[in-house]
């Protein structure tokens, strides 16, 4: 059972739960779709929440799935970790049908997840969440010294860059030499 609101999930093929509805019931019954990440945990998400993702919105806009068809065909996002997809789904639910506030307090706070979150959000084309992630990354270095910035953003020094470049050239040279030797062997 997956509860996208509470962040608790179980592995598929368990029955997914419905995200809580907004207080005012919509006049037209809302349609739901199903997504899962690398961990196969299925999340049931309303079409309204999924509108935040340009990628998914484009996928579902002309499908016309029935509830059963949607349940039987969850969208697989195998390149996204389960906990990251959970964060994204949570965010989409929290911001369903609402203008996003300038200072979003619902952003995931775990910086160790930020990199994966950015990749997922970038892939799913969730523009507003991407903007917030960018802001969070940019704010990490405000008022910091160059040395602190280098540590926070893990920026290699010029010497490290040069060493890496030399190493890469050396490796490429060895590979090229190996390929030449192999080709010569084949010719014999």
Partner 1 sequence: MPIALLKFPNDFLREVFRLCDPFDLYKLSKCSKTCSQKATMLRDTKKWKIGFSALNNAAIWVDGSIYYFNQTDNPEDYFKTKNSGMNSTHMDVEFPIVDLFIYLVDTFGIRIVRIMGIGSDNFHNVLKVAQVLIDRRMEIESFRIFDVRKEQDVVNFMPLMKQMNIIQEFKCFLKFPPNFHFEFVKYPRHIYIDYSSWFTIDQLLDCTSAWIDLEKSSLNNHDLDVFLQKWKKKGTFPNLRWLEIGSEKIDDQSPILEMIPPIKNVTNPRKKVSINGGGYIIDGVRATKDDGTEGWLKVELGGWPILKFLV
Write out the residues near partner 1 by the rule CB under 8 A. Answer: 110-112, 114-115, 118-119, 122, 130-131, 133-135, 137-146, 149-158, 161
Minimum gap (Å) between residue 102 Cβ and partner 1: 13
C-beta of 62 vs 110, nearer to partner 1: 110
84 within 8 A of 113, measured Cβ to Cβ: yes
CB 36 within 8 A of CB 73: no
Task: Using the minimum distance from each CB to partner 1, give the nearer residue, 153 or 172.
Answer: 153
Least separation in angstroms between residue 75's CB and partner 1 is: 22
Shortest spacing between CB 135 and partner 1, in angstroms: 6
To the nearest whole angstrom, how small is the minimum distance from the Cβ of residue 107 to partner 1? 14
Closer residue to partner 1 (CB): 27 or 158: 158
């Amino acid at each position: 059972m997956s509860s996208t609101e509470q962040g608790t999930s179980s592995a598929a093929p368990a029955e997914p739960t419905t995200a809580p509805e907004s207080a005012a019931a919509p006049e037209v019954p809302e349609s739901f779709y199903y997504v899962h990440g690398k961990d196969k945990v299925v999340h049931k998400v309303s079409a309204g929440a999924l509108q935040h993702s340009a990628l998914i919105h484009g996928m579902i806009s002309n499908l016309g799935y029935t509830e059963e068809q949607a349940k039987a065909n969850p969208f697989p996002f195998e390149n996204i970790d389960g906990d990251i997809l959970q964060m994204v789904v949570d965010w989409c639910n929290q911001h369903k049908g609402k203008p996003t506030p300038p200072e979003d307090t619902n952003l995931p706070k775990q910086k160790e997840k930020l990199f994966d979150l950015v990749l997922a959000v970038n892939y799913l084309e969730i523009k507003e969440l991407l903007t917030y992630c960018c802001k969070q990354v940019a704010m990490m270095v405000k008022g910091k010294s160059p040395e602190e910035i280098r540590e926070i953003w893990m920026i290699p020094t010029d010497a490290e860059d040069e060493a890496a470049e030399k190493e890469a050239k050396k490796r490429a040279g060895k590979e090229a030499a190996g390929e030449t030797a192999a080709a010569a062997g084949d010719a014999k």
